[in-house]
Amino acid sequence: MFMKQVYDTGLAQAAYIIGCQVTGEAIVIDPERDIDQYHRIARENDLRITAVAETHIHADFVSGAREFAQDHDITLYLSAMGGEDWSYKWVGNRPNTVFLEDGSTFAVGNIEFKAVHTPGHTPEHMSFLVTDRGGGATEPIAIATGDFLFVGDVGRPDLLESAAGVTGAMEPSARTLADSLGTKLEDLPEFLQVLPGHGAGSACGKALGAVPTSTLGYERRFNGALSLARTRPESFVGDVLTGQPEPPLYFARMKQVNRDGIEVTGGPPEAPHLDPESFLAEAERSQTRVLDTRRSREAFLSERLPQAINAPMKGSEFTNAAGSVVTEDERILLVLESEEDADIARRLLYRIGLDRIVGYVHFEELKAQVPNNLTTLAAERFQDFTAEKLGENDVVLDVRRSDEYGSAHVEGAIHIPHTRIRTRLEKLDTGKRYYVYCRTGRRAAVAASFLASIGYDVVLLDGDCEHCMTAAAA
């Protein structure tokens, strides 16, 4: 048996290619939209992809199942447990599509897969037990858990409400998740490998580990959320709903496109390299967002285009920033550090459904050829900030998570999480100056630069604000 985790650091997302080396057949579980990466890995290992399975309708990336579905020789395995609201509508009458119920089994070559209905994160969620029958195994070697069970954490049950807008779904989903965690794993062996759908940095949980895989026995012993669900489910409900990060703006659309369908494109759009003058002309157009992907926040603050939004190409920071301030109908321009970043950026944007990439430029080209068009972003060290210096038109804006703000915040600060800034502009007055802060300056730089790009007067409070946690209790 062949098994490989394909991990995307930009989305902290894991897909799995599992293949039978006897027959040469392989399945991809939870693929991303740019499916060429999975075909390449299969070819390199003398396999061909004959099947695709999804654990659930995803909220944090565009599923590649829609692209794979163009090949009618590939069999799709999808959940049939979502009811009227959370069933796959885009599939239609496609041949070679199998809808799974709890306990359904299927094979790819000599490898058996058993669907286990594990609702809570979403109603339709499935996990897949993997047994290598060709190798003589009579028990499963692994369970692909999607967003049900992570290393060190469990899937969050609030996204139907907080992202998709289904009012009143949060607490019932948490109770369902507690029941799934308490019952669906109980009879499974300790040695079972846990293949999670996400790792550290994902917004699909609040305490995900950075270790790529685990075992069920280890998680039973050291996963606090799993232990709480098994022993004190009532306490689990309140705990799992507390402290979850506000999801980026794009999450709501992902649930819709993965259920209803999205345009099949055959791969990420090309992003042309523009000369600085053409780039600046495009940046002046309406419905255009400029994403500056340079990794150094200090460099961005000292030299930037006025329209530029800080979206550093570091881990999940780029997709979280882009997915919070750019909508699918807007045009995108990229400021890059290197030519290698062009392909990375266009793939990451494609994976979250942002396809309208107009082009890119290297920052050094801007600096060399149009230096007069660069400006700074007003900033001061948080450690040097005092509320006494505020004028009557100055407002402090806290862009941390709700639980952080609720624990303590700067006296008088208003609160908008940085992933929600785009949707709450009505709370902000263009006649005011906003002093924007978070815990380290990272999230505040995204929010402040976005506000500056659309004409707000902002000052970034940069750097560590440890003392802001205790200076003024909420």
pLDDT, residue 199, reads 94
pLDDT, residue 10, reads 93
pLDDT, residue 229, reads 97
CA–CA dist 280, 358 (Å, integer): 12
pLDDT, residue 164, reads 83
pLDDT, residue 470, reads 52
Are 226 and 295 in a shared domain?
no
Domain count of the chain? 3
Are 318 and 463 in a shared domain?
no
Are 127 and 218 in a shared domain?
yes
Are 349 and 429 in a shared domain?
no
Are 188 and 324 in a shared domain?
no
CA 403 to chain centre: 20
Residue range of the domain that includes 33: 2-260
pLDDT, residue 473, reads 43
Contact 243, 417 (CB under 8 A): no
Are 348 and 457 in a shared domain?
no
Are 133 and 14 in a shared domain?
yes
216 found inside a domain: yes
Residue where a domain stops, chosen among 317, 343, 373:
373
270 found inside a domain: no
194 found inside a domain: yes
Bridge partners (DSSP) of residue 63 are 32
394 found inside a domain: yes
257 token code pair: 């496109």
Average pLDDT by consecutive 10-residue portion of the chain (474 residues)? 97 97 98 98 98 97 98 98 95 97 98 98 98 97 98 95 89 97 97 96 86 97 97 96 92 95 94 97 96 98 98 95 96 97 96 97 97 97 87 96 91 95 95 96 97 98 73 43
CA–CA dist 404, 398 (Å, integer): 10
199 found inside a domain: yes
Q: Looking at residue 198, which CATH number applies to its domain?
A: 3.60.15.10
227 found inside a domain: yes
Are 90 and 191 in a shared domain?
yes
Q: Looking at residue 295, which CATH number applies to its domain?
A: 3.40.250.10
Enter the DSSP assignment of 272: P
pLDDT, residue 474, reads 37
